[in-house]
Amino acid sequence: MIRSLERLAGCAAIILAATATISSPKASEYPADYAQLVAAAEKEGKVSIYAPTDPAQSKALMDAFNAKHPKIKVEWNDITAQALFSRIISEAAAGQVGGDIAWNVPDMQLKLVSMGHAVPYESPEAATVPEWGKYKGIAYATTIEPAVIMYNKTLTSEDKIPKTHDQLLDTLKNNAEAWRGKVATFDPEKSGTGFLWSRNNERLWPDFWTFVKEFGKVGGQVYSSSSQFKEKVLSGELLMAFDMNGAYAREWAKAAPNLGVIAFNDYTQAYSRVAFIIKDGKNPNAARVFLDFMLSQEGQRAVSNAGLPSVRRDVDNGNDIDDINALSNGKLKPIALGQDLIDDFDPKTRTTFLARWKRELGK
């Protein structure tokens, strides 16, 4: 019964995602005895976070949390997504769990959940998280980070930048010389994020593989770290990079005057950074308090002020899910937290996809 309900919820999540329906927020309901939880958390005195995060963003969240809970010290471990995964499974196997909260890209997080490294927690803020952003009462979406196009404003103008996926295909096909070697995206072979975006594009875009073929023909470039895209578009080595993390790209564009960012009009896929409480963590109460804070309006506002758009609609600072949806012409398509993401770790699925990717790319 429960399982079929979950499956139903999962299907619903996908449908919701596909139609980009954004549910209206509900009020959070904290239980009467919440103060006891906070007291227990304060007794633990600290909470340890495992998360690959931009230092400015982690600092914003820490500062906001400390303002509210000065007695709980936040220990932030900024490690890469892959290192985070290795750490959680290794520490669990050694019985030396060091983290309380894991906060990372959605597919890896759900994989960890499926491997049993997370504990369920029904957060009082759960109601405020969209249905597609919740997984089995264990993992919660905290941000909405759209896939955008980043381009060099000095060397090309906005009107030359495609606005839909089909236009992207057309412009590469029709202006092949102009784009030769000057357009790039994340490498699905080397980057988990790259795989996530591409795999999702395959689901959402009927002409995806036709596009990949054209992308290969114009000498499309693939890289695996945000830094490389940033420097290459900034310097004009690349004219345009698509399926960049919009949360980062928008921050960079604020500081670098020659970076432009636009979102696709037909659909803008987006993933969410997902948080859960690590099993056997040393500070389970502080972990709950911290997770609640991450999902709360206050926590969400702090993080979105620092650049990561809020998954809540009521943050109202110009950087919440409504703003991202508006940016995307109302066509925001968040990647739902569901079994699909876990299934995509099946080695056969991945190798089949990547083999086709290489083949179509003409490598």
Partner 1 sequence: MARATEAIIFRGTVVAALAAAVLAPVGLIIYQSFLSGPFFDPTATVGWDAFGFIFTDPDFYSAFGVTVIFAIGVVAIAVPLGAALAFLLTRTDLIGRKILEPLALVPMFLSAIVLGFGYTVSLGPSGLVSLGAERIFGFVPWNIYGLGGLILFGGLTHVPHVYLYASAAMRNIASDMEEAARTTGAGIWQVAWHVTWPLTFPALIFASMLNVLLAFESFGLPLILGDPAGTVVLTTYIYKLTALLGVPSYQLMAAVAVVLLALTFPLVFIQRRLLAQSRRYVTVGGKGARATRIHLGPTMQCVALAGVALWLLLAVVFPIGGIVVRAFVSAWGRGINIFEHLTLDNFRQLLIVPALARSLTNTVILAVVGGAIAVGAYLLVALAGHRWRGRFSSAIDYLVLLPKALPGLVVGLSFFWVFLFVPALQPLRPTLISLLIAYTIVGLSYGFRMIQANLLQVSPDLEEAARTAGATTGQTWRSVVVPIIRPGLIGAWTMMIIVFLREYATGVYLMTNGTEVLGSMIVSMIAGGSVDMIAALSFISIVFTLGGFVLALRLGVRVNE
- Cβ-based nearer residue to partner 1, 21 or 235: 235
Q: Which segments of 19-85 are extended strands (E)?
A: 46-50, 73-77
Q: Which helix (H) or strand (E) holds 273?
A: none
Residue at 216: amino acid letter: G
Cβ at position 160, least distance to partner 1 in Å? 15
For the bound state, the minimum distance from the C-beta of residue 42 to partner 1, rounded and expressed in Å, comes to: 19
Binding site for partner 1 (CB under 8 A): 48, 52-56, 58-59, 75-83, 85-87, 89-91, 93-94, 96, 98, 107-108, 111, 152, 154-155, 189-192, 194-195, 221, 223-232, 234-237, 248, 252, 255-259, 344-345, 347, 350-351, 354, 363
Residue number, 123 or 198, with CB nearest to partner 1: 198
| Cα–Cα dist 136/120, whole Å | 8
Reported for 79-87, long-range contacts at CB under 8 A and 24+ positions apart, including other chains, are 79/50, 79/51, 79/52, 80/52, 81/52, 81/105, 81/108, 81/192, 82/192, 83/52, 84/50, 84/51, 84/52, 84/108, 85/111, 85/112, 87/50
Q: What distance in Å separates the CA atoms of residue 1 and residue 360, rounded to the nearest whole number?
A: 43
E strand or H helix that includes residue 111: helix 106-114
User: Which amino acid makes up residue 179?
Assistant: W
Which residue, 189 or 298, is less far from partner 1 as judged by CB? Answer: 189
Three-class SS of residue 362? coil
In 140-150, which positions are buried (b, 16+ CB within 10 angstroms) versus exposed (e)? bbbbbbbbbbb
Question: CA 327: distance to chain centroid?
Answer: 17
Of 192 and 299, which has the nearer Cβ to partner 1? Answer: 192
Q: Is 58 helix (H, G, I), strand (E, B) or coil?
A: helix
Residue 200 CB, shortest distance to partner 1, in Å, is: 14
Which CB, 59 or 313, lies closer to partner 1? 59
Q: Which of 176, 48, 149 is nearest to 102 (CA)?
A: 48
* Closest separation in Å from C-beta 357 to partner 1: 12
* Closest distance of CB 344 from partner 1, Å: 7
Residue 77 or 167: which CB sits closer to partner 1?
77
Question: Is residue 49 helix, strand or coil?
Answer: strand
Q: How many alpha carbons lie under 13 Å from residue 326 in its C-beta half-sphere? A: 9
What are the start-end ranges of the H helices in 205-282? 208-217, 226-235, 246-255
| Minimum separation from the CB atom of position 40 to partner 1 (A) | 22
Question: Of the two residues 87 and 163, which places its CB atom closer to partner 1 in the complex?
Answer: 87
CB of 322 to partner 1, least distance (A): 25
Q: How far is the CB of 353 from partner 1 (least distance, A)?
A: 11
Q: Are 361 and 211 in contact (CB under 8 A)?
A: no
Nearest-approach distance from CB 320 to partner 1, in angstroms: 21
Q: Which is nearer to partner 1, 19 or 227 (CB)?
A: 227
CB closer to partner 1, 228 vs 269: 228
